[in-house]
Structure 1
Amino acid sequence: MTESAPAPSAPAGPQLSTRDARKIATAAFVGTALEWYDYYIFGTAAALVFNRLFFTELNPNAAVLATFATFGVGFLARPLGAILFGFIGDRYGRRPALIASVVLIGIATGLIGLLPDYTQIHIWAPILLVALRLVQGVAVGGEWSGAMTMAVEHAPVHQRGRFAALVQLGSPVATLVSSGAFALVLLLPPSDFDAWGWRLPFLFAFPLLLVAVAIRVKLEESPVFRGLVATDKRVRTPAFEVFRRAPGRLGVAVLASLLGIGGFYTYNTFVVNYGAQILGVERGVMVNATLIAALGQIVVTLVSGRLAERFGAGRVTAWGGLLTAATAFPVFWLIDTKDPLLITVGVTVGLGSVILAYGVSGALLTELFPAELRYSGVGLGYNIAAATSGFMPLLASTLLFASGNQSWGPALLLVVVALLTALGGVLGQRLRVVDEVPAAALTEREDAR
């Protein structure tokens, strides 16, 4: 990593309030959970229903691949969202970028629930599905990075790990709500589920949008961003400056983020389809396994944040990568037994090891970039990784079919990605940037109250 970066400055921890940090991080967590809900229900629907209702002209294996390809295109759009919302967040403020991103994804998700299927509008059904998935991707491309930047920049430096982890709780909570929503509609008769039941979790995005906007408009602007305005340190084209000034840091951010995204969707999306379609396990068993695993995710996320404060986010990322690599094959062996209890244990262990790395990714990525590039740098690193590892359900399915439906192919893919993230954690541990909050920004914040 040879590019220049600002030298670390004195920590600003004593100047920032833990109470205020907790309030902002909690609000960021709630908004992020609502937005991740919108995004995750697409993954569950992709595993359970889209292959049958939107790609009905294809043979079963081709329909699965087409469905996961549609799922993956949302990840391709995420770097575009990182550039767009990163520009807004680094130039005009973290707060307006967060409000815009949640409005965009809420509308796109609700519209998916209104889409006619293939039997009604033929080829236009999958085309519109892909288009709305792209919109979801653009919105999420600016969501996570903005929420994480906002939470971290309000927190004392020595407590950033715990508040970054608090925002990360949005992921397992969204998993619980989205999987729970589908678990409920799966209680319907299969004909009703296919006709209208699967739409209900998507339509629920409309009232959730109102809640998310109400939360976001109450957020205070980041004191670090106020400092950038006060000292005139904002840059005109932050995404360009990330590539020019910090390409090595961006590469580390991508490596460190691969597992948290790809591993999550392997266990939460691919495995649901693998169990239901290939192993013949009841769909409800697979969805319930992800629900129980999400409870474990909450515990691991909170623990990872405290570990990051003690040992460093980079080291914890590396530990999560190594643990995931070590457990990948045993987890799939448990799933292959078709036993509901062992499947649940396997998915819980697998997701827990992934979340050990994911839980600290916010703390790691925000420390890789200086404040004037942070929203764009975090967003680009995280979402370039998403554009790659978001296709892991598709790659895993391809390897599965190529190996005669043997699980060693997907397990091996997971090992490779986990080791890359472990490498990112080792490198990221050496590249920390600590920003200073100018007193003028804190005074302005107090005056605003």
Structure 2
Amino acid sequence: MRSAAMRDEPRVTDAEARRIAFAAFVGTALEWYDYFLYGTAASIVFNRLYFVSGDPVVATLAAFASFAVGFVARPIGAVIFGHVGDRRGRRASLIITVTMIGVVTALIGLLPDFAAIGVAAPILLTLLRVFQGIAVGGEWGGAVTLAVEHAPPERRGRYAALPQVGSPIGTLLSSGAFALVSLLPADAFDSWGWRLPFLAAIPLLFVALYLRRRIEESPLFTELLQQQERSSSPVVEVLRRSFGRVLVGLSASLLGVGGFYLLTTFAISYGTETLHLPRSLMLGATLVAAVVEIAILLAFGRLAERWGPGNVCVVGGVASALVAFPVFWLIDTKNPALVVLAITAGVACLSVPYAVAGSLLTELFPPQLRYSGVSIAFNLGGVVSGFVPFAATAVLAASGKQSWSVALLLVGLSVLTALGGAIGERLRIEDDVSAA
């Protein structure tokens, strides 16, 4: 799978690699902030103000279904922006994605609710979520590709992990914003308070655009351009030549995305709607977990350089499976300290495979197909992951609100991710041997 260009990639300095990785991280953090806002709002706002129903469970399922639609749209974005990134350049694609998601998020903040425009409200909200998903579908693959291709090969683990830190930063920003507006009186929160975090996307967009426009194009892509080694149809080639590797990348990505939404988006809904815990407690727990996740991502990104990213992925999958049931046992105690501990411990474990997803997936595909391959694999995993809160709500209802059913779902995601990591590491080693 590795081409001559991949065996002799242009080297850059550590200082340049850090600068590019940091810029990719900041842009990614702002995009995840926009994207995660929807997940939080689906748990505490959209189920009441947009998907109006006499049955709270039905309303929550409808809100989570609209949440999942964004994940279904992500492979479309992966195809579109993967093609742009592999044909026209990584930088150009990333500027488009950050602009698109910022504008769409602001429009959500301006959208009238069900009481104002009736059934048009949930329809338009879902449509905007689709556009959010398309934009994010092209974001992550481009960010990690750019970071990896600017990094010295022996330090790719740490630089590939830096864009991943954008996820917990996005969580901190989105959950923190909702925690602040949740302090408003209930009427004020429902009428205009919840909209403020979405409208903040506009000034954040200008920050992201400033940073993205300062990023240089990948030196590897520039070399491919000069040597005319670009693929005319990168998406078609990925699906024709590397579909097995797409499935491996999909599997390895499940826990870091799906498990995260299980312990944040679903857990917020479970804690507030089923256990009747304070909304501030559940949002606070996600904030604490996000802080711990930052340290986990940075630490295990570096360990991937020594152990191999696939092996680290296996460790994270096994650890997450082992803590799945204890996490929900602790949440069910309703003890605030134990609830925070449970969410934090669970997110810490599933963050281990997420830390190495960038370095693992980028090594599965050759440079001329890398943006497309990484984006398609990760976002197909995102399709499955996007339905995790919906599936968790459904199995919880089917089991008579017994949390063991949700814990079992988390175990399944953990096992699949560990399997993907093991196969991915074997493929990585085989590629290194064949490239030598």
Deviations 1:382-423 (A, max 9, x none): 000001111100000000011111101111011001100000
Structure 2 distance, partners of 1:340, 1:12, is 54
5 Å matches for 1:4-83? 5-6=1-2, 15-83=11-79
Write the letter of the residue equivalent to 1:273: S
TM superposition shift of 1:57:
3.1
Q: What is the TM-score of this pair, normalised by structure 2?
A: 0.97
5 Å matches for 1:1-400? 5-6=1-2, 15-400=11-396
Deviations 1:171-225 (A, max 9, x none): 1111111110000000001111111110000000011111111110110000110
TM superposition shift of 1:432:
2.3
Write the letter of the residue equivalent to 1:136: Q
Structure 1 distance, partners of 2:6, 2:126, is 47
- Please give the secondary structure, in 2, of the residue aligned with 1:116: coil
5 Å matches for 1:407-422? 407-422=403-418
Deviations 1:226-262 (A, max 9, x none): 1111111101111110011111111100000111110
Change beyond 3 A, Cα 1:220–1:9: closer
- Please give the secondary structure, in 2, of the residue aligned with 1:359: helix
Structure 2 distance, partners of 1:14, 1:216, is 22
Report the identity percentage: 55
Structure 2 distance, partners of 1:168, 1:393, is 21
TM superposition shift of 1:15:
2.8
Q: What is the TM-score of this pair, normalised by structure 1?
A: 0.94
- Please give the secondary structure, in 1, of the residue aligned with 2:231: coil
Structure 1 distance, partners of 2:107, 2:355, is 31
Change beyond 3 A, Cα 1:7–1:237: closer
Deviations 1:244-289 (A, max 9, x none): 1111111100000111110010011000000001000000000000
Write the letter of the residue equivalent to 1:132: L
Structure 1 distance, partners of 2:9, 2:350, is 30
**2:5/2:224 contact within 8 Å kept:** no
**1:313/1:363 contact within 8 Å kept:** yes
Structure 1 distance, partners of 2:13, 2:122, is 49
Structure 1 distance, partners of 2:427, 2:207, is 38
TM superposition shift of 1:154:
0.3
Write the letter of the residue equivalent to 2:210: A
Write the letter of the residue equivalent to 1:181: A
**Unpaired runs of at least 5, structure 1:** 437-449
- Please give the secondary structure, in 2, of the residue aligned with 1:431: helix
TM superposition shift of 1:6:
2.9
TM superposition shift of 1:9:
7.4
Change beyond 3 A, Cα 1:191–1:316: same
| Partner residue in 2 for 1:439 | none
RMSD, aligned CA: 1.5
- Please give the secondary structure, in 1, of the residue aligned with 2:401: coil
- Please give the secondary structure, in 2, of the residue aligned with 1:280: coil
TM superposition shift of 1:7:
6.0
TM superposition shift of 1:10:
7.7
Q: Which runs of 4+ in 1 moved over 4 A?
A: 7-14, 433-436
**2:6/2:366 contact within 8 Å kept:** no
TM superposition shift of 1:14:
8.4
Write the letter of the residue equivalent to 2:404: W
Deviations 1:340-398 (A, max 9, x none): 10000000000000101101100100000000000000000000000111110000000
Write the letter of the residue equivalent to 1:133: R
- Please give the secondary structure, in 1, of the residue aligned with 2:426: coil
Aligned residues: 432
